[in-house]
Amino acid sequence: MATKKRVNQGKSGKKIKGFAIQFMPYSEIKNLNSVDRIKKILEIVFSNSILLLQGRLKPEEETRLIEDTMAMIGYVKDFKGIELAVINPQEKGNALDRMKSNLVVRLSGTDLGAMTIIGPASIVREIKQDPRKIELFLNK
């Protein structure tokens, strides 16, 4: 946990008790199956934390995360969904560089140069991203 801050929730006027920014190395979820990975991520989000995850989820895990998020809206009080972004500064190298990079991904299970940001929509209003930059806008 890096930061704790008091914020308002916005339109509803309800105060959020606080939020944390939590960094998680990929090794924490590497040996979990997809269901448990999503469960672990959502548990962090439900605790009003913004998760910075090293690496990235597989495409089918990202859609599973969206499905599970949708299933939780209406069941978890004041939960309106998530904001999600991945920054992946891929270097356009030669064929040898790409081979090396693919080998690292195969060995580690993810692209360790990537970073995934997941936060509750009640705290994170918007994430603006381009291939090399992410801007996080929080609810006032």
Chain residues that interact with other proteins, rule: CB under 8 A: 11-12, 58-60, 62-63, 66-67, 69-71, 73-74, 80-86, 121, 127-131
The HSE-up count of residue 2 (CA atoms within 13 Å, CB side) is: 7
Shortest Å, Cβ 125 to other proteins: 10
Distance in angstroms (rounded) separating the CA atoms of residues 65 and 68: 5
Residue closer to other proteins (CB basis): 49 or 69: 69
Shortest Å, Cβ 41 to other proteins: 12
Q: In terms of DSSP bridges, do strands 49-54 and 15-24 run parallel, antiparallel, or are they unpaired?
A: parallel
Shortest Å, Cβ 90 to other proteins: 12
The C-alpha R_g of the chain, in whole angstroms, comes to: 16
Residue closer to other proteins (CB basis): 1 or 110: 110
Distance in angstroms (rounded) separating the CA atoms of residues 69 and 106: 28
Phi-psi region of 66 (alpha: psi -120 to 50; beta: other; left: phi over 0): alpha
Residue closer to other proteins (CB basis): 85 or 105: 85
Residue closer to other proteins (CB basis): 24 or 127: 127
Shortest Å, Cβ 59 to other proteins: 4
